[in-house]
Amino acid sequence: MVANNFDELKALPRDKVAGKIVLFNYSFDKQMAAGGHGGDAYGEAVVYRGDGPSAAARQGAVACLIRSVGGADYRLPHTGQTKYADDAPKIPAGALTAEDADLIVDLVRQGQVKMKLTLTPQQLPDVESYNVIGDIKGSEHPEQIIIVSGHLDSWDLGTGAVDDGAGVAVSMEAANLIQKLHLKPKRTIRMIAWMNEENGLAGSKQYEKDHREEWSNHFAAMETDGGAGHPIGINIKGKFEIKKLLAPVLAVLQESGAGGTNFAEHVGADIEPMEKADVPAFSPIQDSRFYFNYHHTAADTLDKIVPKELAENSAVVAVVTYALANMEQPLPR
């Protein structure tokens, strides 16, 4: 049974779906991604990976297949997290490559299709793991903290170079640049390599548990989790007055084409607890045209990283981080 979206599935009589495998055939919008809006294209498609299996189960399906959520060609399947709702059976679910989804759609048009699914994912017991944290102590306000971060873990199809080895490298190098230039931040700069972003945000949750009483002293938080494409600006989660306060910094960044700004509802999964506590939050805006060709696939390997663009991201994050650390006044909340 093929459905291109949730509305098509809901429109089908339950007895037509019961006992069948549902294929959600929602296509990742490559034109939107090519226009520089890869994150928006991903957001429109990823809901089928997250919520599709439970939606199919409510209609009586026995399994669910999802057209891969990304722009990958060459028969590369895409993986990621699925959420099982409490009000629906937990049915088997898996991702299909775009090519195989197209093949199944064509076969269904010709008549009944039978499939045998062999799915190997398993949920293993939790083991002890750690966030990696390093501080550059502030010279005047060491109790006030600016977080610069990425996440350590990745899906195991590839090696996690773009998601999110690049973010960890950018954050580490930003801190390293500040030290190499012998700069003296007034506030503490805290580099965090988060653990378990992909599979439940355990590192973020533990940091919240340990530090939530100190949110008032968290001056700002930044996360890089969009690969290492050329930086073009800064996402801001916070008050509109922040842009005015950052105007001198943005003018400097604009010299390299990275002075754009975007006010976003959400800028980083690991720093979301701080976002919800009104800590001003930031992330670099990066060229996302190709990121979702590799993200969560076997093609997410080190050769996809362009060293020059990785260095550009580190420079942008370092400039913004140091500017935040040395601001004369607090950011509005």
Mean pLDDT per block of 10 residues along the chain (333 residues) reads 97 96 97 95 97 98 96 90 94 96 97 93 90 98 98 93 98 98 98 96 98 98 97 97 96 95 97 98 97 95 97 98 97 96
| Per-residue confidence (pLDDT) for residue 299, from 0 to 100 | 95
pLDDT in tens, 67-126: 999 998 889 999 999 999 999 999 999 999 999 999 999 999 999 999 999 998 888 899
Peptide bond into 29 cis (omega under 30): no
What is the distance between the alpha carbons of residues 101 and 107, in angstroms, rounded to a whole number?
10
CA–CA separation, 28 vs 303, rounded Å? Answer: 24
Tokens of 50: 């997250």
Q: Which residues of 25-45 are buried (b: 16+ CB within 10 A; e: fewer)?
A: bbebbbebbeeebbbebbebb
Q: 85: helix, coil or strand?
A: coil
Distance, CA of 174 to CA of 168 (rounded, Å) = 10
Residues of the chain with CATH 3.40.630.10: 132-325
Region(s) of the chain under CATH 3.50.30.30: 2-110
List, by residue number, the catalytic residues: 197
Structure tokens, 102: 């197209």
Superfamily for domain range 132-325: Zn peptidases (3.40.630.10)
CATH architecture of the domain with range 2-110: 3-Layer(bba) Sandwich (3.50)
